[in-house]
Amino acid sequence: MFTALVRIFKYGFSSFWRSGLLTTATVAIMVVALSVFSGLIFFNVVTKTALTSLQDKIDITVYFKTDADEAAILQVKSAIENLDETQSVAYISRTEALDTFREKHKNDTVVISALDALGDNPLQASLNIKAKDPRQYATIASYFDTPSVQPIVDKVSYQQNEVVINRLIKVIDTAERGGLIITILFLCIAGLVAFNTIRLAIYANREEIGVMRLVGALNSFISAPYVVQGILQGIVASFITLLIMLPTIHLVSPYIQAMIPEMDLWSYFVANMLGIFALQTLAGIVLGGVSSLIAVRRYLKA
């Protein structure tokens, strides 16, 4: 068994170096496939970051009547915080709202004079609520329709934000489905191209395969070196892809950060380089090994 394994790996390495042109072509195809695969990973990361950024800008605000008791409002705040759908709740008292309003309009003498003329604070206390998921805002908003809470509530901004929230939900769903479909599509295309390229390499060695079959070699013994060769091609393609990605990501990262300030693609890549390389290598091994195995078995059955 050990001798057979040594021969399989030896022949696989030999075929890898000997079939120079076909090996180069196969590795090049795999580099393209792995580049697309890695590009889709980064596309998903950038898309999720952009969507998260948009999601953080969406919230609902609940305004309470000016005569509402602060203790009752804080009780509502505590109840909202305990909801599974809630990410955060910020309470803004009437005094804080007035101070913020004065600061914002400090250079507008007409507004400040009108406010002073009122003699009383006309602003309402409010709760600023963020949900864990945009789909959950409707559930949170429905809480304020309950009989125990409704008497102190003046207005809930969910109705004004509902169109934006629903559009964001559609964008998130479309991005998730689209990313998955594109990933599967490109991997299938890459697999088919790599499969046909490897078939050419096997066809180029048809005389050697014929001799091996004549001397009684098992199909598994004939197939194994090509699988080893395919795995080697996948590993080499993964390493080349990483070398291509380094300058590419460093170049495009500032442009992406200019559009999405929260996304530092270069820092993300550096922090996750080993994981990305491992994932690329695994994808290359599967792509090369499986494509080689299927190709040589189909040839042997022909």
Q: Are residues 23 and 99 in the same domain?
A: no
- Do both 206 and 280 map to the same domain? yes
Q: Is residue 188 domain-shared with residue 294, that is, in the same domain?
A: yes
pTM for the model: 0.65
Same domain, 202 and 269: yes
Grouping H, G, I as helix, E, B as strand and the rest as coil, residue 126 is strand
Which of 101, 125, 160 lies at the terminal end of a domain, its last residue?
160
- Phi/psi of residue 93, each to 5°? -75, 170
Q: Which of the two residues, 288 and 169, has the higher pLDDT score?
A: 288
Same domain, 227 and 152: no
Instruction: Write down the pLDDT at residue 162.
Output: 67
The answer for residues whose C-beta is within 8 angstroms of residue 292's C-beta and 6 or more apart is 198, 202, 223, 226, 227, 229, 230, 231
Q: In the predicted model, is pLDDT for residue 116 greater than 90?
A: no
More confident call, 62 vs 202: 62
Structural domain harbouring 257: 2-54+169-301
Instruction: List the beta strands (DSSP E) in 82-152.
Output: 86-92, 126-131
Tens-place pLDDT, residues 170-189: 777 777 777 778 777 777 77
Across the chain, mean pLDDT equals 81
| 38/177 same-domain check | yes
- Overall number of domains in the chain: 2
189, 114: one domain: no
Of 143, 160, 177, the one marking the end of a domain is 160
Confidence grade of residue 47 (pLDDT, cut at 50, 70, 90): confident
| Same domain assignment for residues 198 and 148 | no
Same domain, 38 and 81: no
Q: Which residue, of 160, 183, 208, is where some domain finishes?
A: 160
Q: Are 216 and 124 part of one and the same domain? A: no
Distance, in Å, from the CA atom of 147 to the CA atom of 273, rounded to the nearest integer, reads: 54
Instruction: Indicate whether 282 and 191 sit together in one domain.
Output: yes
Torsional sign, CA 233, 236, 238, 241: negative
Mark whether 231 and 135 lie in a shared domain.
no
Q: How many CA atoms lie within 13 A of 278 on its CB side?
A: 4
The CATH number for 91's domain is: 3.30.70.3040
Q: Using 50, 70 and 90 to split pLDDT, how confident is the model at 16?
A: low
